Structure 1
Amino acid sequence: MGMLAKIRRLHLRDGLSIREVSRRTGLSRNTVREWLRQEGVTEPRYAKRERPSVVAPWAEQLEAALRADAHRPVRERRTAKALFEQIQALGYCGSYPRVVVWVRRWREAQAAAPRRAAFVPLAFELGEAFQFDWSCEYVFIGGLRRRLEVAHTKLAASRAFWLSAYPSQSHEMLFDAHARAFGAFGGVPRRGIYDNMKTAVDKVGVGKARAVNARFAAMCSHYLFEPEFCNRASGWEKGIVEKNVQDQRRTIWREAAEQRWPDLAHLNDWLASRCRQSWEDTAHPDWPLLTVADVLQDERAQLLPLAQRFDGYIEHPVRVSHTALIHFQRNRYSVPTAHVNAVLSLRIYPEELALIAEGGIEVARHPRCFERDQTRYDWRHYIDLVQTKPGALRNGAPFRVMPEALQRLQRHLLRHAGGDRVMAQVLAAVPIHGLDAVLVAAELALEAGRPSAEHVLNVLARLKEGTPKHVSTAALVLTLSEEPRADVDRYDRLRGGLQ
C-alpha cells in the first residue's frame, strides 16, 4: 500500500514521468504503468513462486516424529539436528538448515492452530448429581517422596468437594472414597458422573452402552444413585471436577507438597479440614454473595439420606503355605497354624486385610502393607505349633515381634535346659488368660528374680481369683445375753462328777 501511494504522488501530484518514477522507485516502467492504470487503491499481490522443497519427500517422517515427541517429556524430545541425522540415514541429501526451517515452520503452524473447542455451559439442580475423578500427586510421607492417587468428589450444584489420598486406584480405594465423601456431604445425590475408569467399567460399548463392573454396581445400588459415564475422550462432560483437579493442585496440593507427613492417615485428616475450610472461604460461581458452605446447607436438604457405610472390600481366595503365611501383592501375612494348606477368603480393605474361613469366621486381620517383599507376623498365630515344637522358639521369626516383657522372659528361660518348653507353657496361657494378664504376670515373675512357668501360672491364678473382699467389723456389735456369776462351787461339782 505504501509503494502504490508513493507512485501516485510522484506521477499525479508532482508531475514526474513514468521513466523518472521507475528510476526513483526501482520498479520497472511496465509495473508503474500497470499500477497507475488500475482503478482501485489496493496494491496488487503476486502469488509466491512455489518451488519443490528438498525436504518435502521426508515431510511425513518428520511430522510423525514431531507428533510423537509432543507426548514425551521435554528433556526427551529430539532436536532438529537429531531429526536431520535420522532422515539423512534414510537417504536425505539436502542440507541441515533446510530441515531447521521446515521444523520451525511446522511448530509455528501448530502453535497458531486453534486449540480450544466450544462447549455448552451446564447447570444442575440441588442434589441432582456429583462428579468423580482421579488425579496423580506427589508428597513426602515417612521421609520419602511418594506418588499418591487422589480421589476428587464434587457436588455439581453447590460445588462442595472432597479429597482423599490413596496408594492406588483399586476398587477398595474407590469405595472408601465414596463413603468418605458422602459422609462429609451429609447425603447422596441422585446421579454420579464418571469417565470410563477400569474399576467401574469392564467394557465400553457403542454410544452410552457400558458393561458395568459388578462390585461397582453393588455400591451404586447400596447408595441408591445412578451411575452415568462420559463418552470416550470427552472429559469436558464432567468439566466441574476436571477444573477442581487443576484448582486444588495449585492451592491445597501446593501446601501439602511443602510439608512432611508421618503417614497417610495424617495427610487425609489434614485434607478433610482443608476441604471444609475451602467451603467457607470460596464464593459460589453462580451466587457470588454466598459461599460454597452456604449453598451446601441448602443442597443437603435435597440429598438422599446417607445409608449405612458400604462394606467395600474385594475378595480373593488364597492358600495358606506350610509356614502359615498367605501371599498378597508380593507381601506375606501370617494366619493361625491350624489353617495350614487350607484355602481362605482374603477380604481386601484400603487399610486392612481380613482372612475368613468357612462359615464366615474371621481368623486373622493385618494392617495392609504397600511396600514389597515384607512379612507381617502375628506371633500368637504360632502358639499352638510351639507346644509340639518348642525348639522353634529359639530362632522363630514370628516371636521376634513379641512384647518386650515376654522377650526378656524368654531370654532368661532359654539360658537353662528345657527353657524352650517352659516358655511354650507360658505362651499357652495367652489364649486362656489374655495377653494383658500374661504380660503382668511375666513382669512380676521377672521382678522376683527366678521366673519359671509355675511362677507365672501361679501369678495368673492369683490375678484371676482376685483379692478377697475386706469385711468391715465396724457394724458388728456384741451384746451380752447372760450376766456372768462368781460361783466357786462349780469346780467342786465338776470334781464330784469325775469321781
Structure 2
Amino acid sequence: MLKRSKVQLYEQIRRAHAHDEVSIRELSRRFGVHRRDVRAALVSPIPAARKVGPAKASPKLDRWKPLIEQWLIADLDAPRKQRHTGRRVWERLVGEHGADVGQSTVRAYVKVVRDLQRAPLVEVNVGQFHEPGEEAEVDFGAIYVYLCGVLTEVSMFVFRLSASGRSFCRAYLNESQEVFLDGHVRAFNHFGGFPKRVRYDNLKAAVIKALKGRDRIETDRFVALRSHYGFESFFCRPGIEGAHEKGGVEGEVGRFRRRHLVPVPHVESMTELNALLLAGCLLDDSRVIAHRRRTVGQDFVVEQAALQPLPIEEFDPSTLSNHRVDSKARVSVRSVHYSVPAGLVRRRLDVKVGADLIRVFDGARLVAEHERGRKGDEILALDHYLEVLAVKPGAMLTASPLGAARRSGAFTDVHEQFWQTARRRLGDRDGTKTMIEVLLAHRRLPPDAVITGMTQALAVGSIDPQVVLIEARRAAEDTVAPVIAIGTRTQIERPAPTLSEYDQLLENTL
C-alpha cells in the first residue's frame, strides 16, 4: 500500500464529506485519523504548519555555556590528542568552578559546539557591477585539438572584459612569459583599447613570489608591459579561493570550450586554430548573458568608448638571449633545438624569442626563423644543411632535416621524383649532388617556380640543373610581350630637327 501524504488525505476526507455527507465521527473512523484532523481538513485543503515550540531552557548550564565555548575554541590551536573531551569539560566545571551540572548534559552541549565547529562556513557570493572600461580578467585554459591528425593539448589565453563580457581567445603551444605578454598585446589591439585594471591569478609569467595579503614580487617583463600601457593589476588570492575572485573568466573558459570546440576540431596548423577561435569570439557578440537585456556586442559598443587609448608604439613581447651553436648546427632555446646555417657552427648568436616565432641573428643579420616548438622538439630546416650535404651526399638519404622537410611538405612529390630519376641515371652520389644544386635554387627563386622548373625538365626527360633553373626563372618572371593588333599603331608627334647648335659651334671654331 502506497503511503499517502497529508495533502492527499485531506483531499479524500473533503471528497467523502462532500459526496457521502457522512459525519465527522464516521470520517474519523473510515480514514483512521483523529476527529480534529477531520475538522482541520474540512476547514482548509492545506495542512497547517507544525508548530515549533521554544527551545528548552537549561537553567543550570546556561551560565556555563560561554566558558565551555571559550575552552573549545582554544582547543582549535591545541594538539589534536590533547583537547577537551566532554567528560574533561564536566570535570573542570565541577572541580574548578563548583558547577552543579550533570555530565550527560555537558557532554551533549560539547557535541553541539563541536558539530558547529566542524561545519564548513558557507560563503555568500555577492554580485558585482562593473563600469564600462574599468576591469578585465585574464586566465589560461587547456583545450584539445587534432593538430595535423594528432590529438594535442594546447593552452588557450582568454582576456575577458568584465562589463560587456566580450572575450578574446588565442591558442598557444605553451604558457611561457612571451605567450602571456603576446596575448595582452593582441587582446588590446583586438578591442581597440585596454581597461583601467586587470585581474590575475598568481601566474609565473607575472609573479615571482606571493607575499602576505595582495602584495606580490612581479617579473620585470610584466612590470614593463603594465608600465607601457598604464593599466593597474589586481592579484587574486592563491588557491581555489582566488578562482572565485575572477569567476567571469573562469566560467568563460569552460563555456567557450563547450560552445565552439565540441566536437574536437581538426586543424593543420596553429594559425588555422586561432582563426577558428577568433571566429568564435566574433560569433559570441550575438549572445545574451543571463539577466541582461542587451547582447555582448551591444554592450561592447558602450564599453569600447570607455577603454583607454592604445599607445603609439606597440609593446614588443619577445625576449632576447644569446646561445651557442652546437656541432649539429642547432641552438637550444627553452629545451627546443632549432637549426641555423651550418657555417655558423660553434658561434654565439642572438635569439629573439617570441610567442609564435624564433628569430636567430648573427649581429644585425637574420640567419634563421622558425615557428616556436614545444619542449623536447627538434625543428630543422633542410636549407641550412645543403652545403654540408653537398660535401657528404651519402648522409642525405637518412638526414633528419630531410625527414622534417618531408613532414612539413617543403620536400614535395616533385622533389622526390626528380631525385629518384637523378639517382637512377647518375648514381646515388652524383644524383644527390644534382638534387642539392636544385634545392639551392630555392634561395633565389620562389618555391613554386622551382617546382615548375623540375616538372618541365622531367617532361622533356632532362635532369640538368641548368634546365631546371632556366624553366624556373621563366616561371618566376612570367614576362610575355604584349600583342599589338595591326592597325592600332599610334602616330608619334616629334618636333622638326634644328641645326642652330651646330651653327654656333662653327662660329666658335673660326
Class of the TM-score when normalised by the shorter of the 2 chains: 0.5 to 0.7
Q: Secondary structure at the match of 2:321?
A: strand
> What displacement does 1:200 show?
0.6
Instruction: Tell me which residue corresponds to 1:311.
Output: 316
Instruction: Tell me which residue corresponds to 2:422.
Output: 413
Letter in structure 2 aligned against 1:302:
A
Aligned pair 1:300/2:295, yes or no?
no
- TM-score normalised to structure 2 length: 0.62
Q: Given the alignment, which residue of 205, 210, 224 partners 1:218?
A: 224
Instruction: Tell me which residue corresponds to 2:266.
Output: 262
CA contact (8 A) 2:144 2:264 kept: no
CA contact (8 A) 2:229 2:310 kept: yes
Distance 1:291 1:405, change over 3 A: closer
- TM alignment of 1:71-470, pairs within 5 A: 109=115, 113-117=119-123, 122-136=128-142, 146-230=152-236, 235=241, 239=244, 241-246=246-251, 248-249=253-254, 251-256=255-260, 258-263=262-267, 264-283=270-289, 285=291, 288-307=292-311, 309-359=314-364, 361-370=365-374, 372=376, 374-400=377-403, 401=405, 402-415=411-424, 416-417=426-427, 418-460=430-472, 469=481
- TM-score normalised to structure 1 length: 0.64
Letter in structure 2 aligned against 1:125:
E
Question: Structure 2 CA distance, aligned partners of 1:433 and 1:180?
Answer: 33
Q: Secondary structure at the match of 1:299?
A: helix
Distance 1:112 1:310, change over 3 A: same
Deviations along 1:248-305, one digit per CA (max 9) or x if unpaired, are 52x43234564121235555444434444444322475xx333333222111111112
Instruction: Tell me which residue corresponds to 1:74.
Output: none
Letter in structure 1 aligned against 2:416:
Q
Deviations along 1:284-337, one digit per CA (max 9) or x if unpaired, are 75xx33333322211111111234553322333322222212234544322111
Question: Structure 2 CA distance, aligned partners of 1:463 and 1:428?
Answer: 17
Q: Return 5+ residue gaps in structure 1 as ranges.
A: 1-39, 48-58, 64-104, 478-499
Deviations along 1:449-475, one digit per CA (max 9) or x if unpaired, are 132234334445666787673775835
Alignment root-mean-square deviation, CA: 4.1
> What displacement does 1:169 show?
2.2
Question: Structure 1 CA distance, aligned partners of 2:55 and 2:119?
Answer: 32
Letter in structure 1 aligned against 2:401:
P
CA contact (8 A) 2:214 2:237 kept: yes
CA contact (8 A) 1:334 1:381 kept: yes
Distance 1:456 1:140, change over 3 A: closer
Question: Structure 2 CA distance, aligned partners of 1:115 and 1:258?
Answer: 37
Distance 1:465 1:296, change over 3 A: closer
Distance 1:386 1:300, change over 3 A: same
Question: Structure 2 CA distance, aligned partners of 1:254 and 1:311?
Answer: 33
Moved over 6 A (4+): 43-47, 464-468
Instruction: Tell me which residue corresponds to 1:15.
Output: none
Letter in structure 1 aligned against 2:455:
E
- The alignment of Structure 1 onto Structure 2 pairs a total of residues equal to 380
Distance 1:228 1:283, change over 3 A: closer
Distance 1:284 1:439, change over 3 A: same
CA contact (8 A) 1:222 1:310 kept: yes
Distance 1:268 1:241, change over 3 A: farther
Question: Structure 2 CA distance, aligned partners of 1:465 and 1:184?
Answer: 39
Deviations along 1:342-395, one digit per CA (max 9) or x if unpaired, are 222333333332222212x221122233374x4332212223334444444454
CA contact (8 A) 1:284 1:292 kept: no
Question: Structure 2 CA distance, aligned partners of 1:471 and 1:290?
Answer: 61
Question: Structure 1 CA distance, aligned partners of 2:118 and 2:135?
Answer: 38
Determine what percentage of the aligned residue pairs are the same residue. Answer: 26
Q: Return 5+ residue gaps in structure 2 as ranges.
A: 1-53, 62-78, 84-110, 406-410, 490-510
Deviations along 1:400-438, one digit per CA (max 9) or x if unpaired, are 532332332222222315333333433333323443332
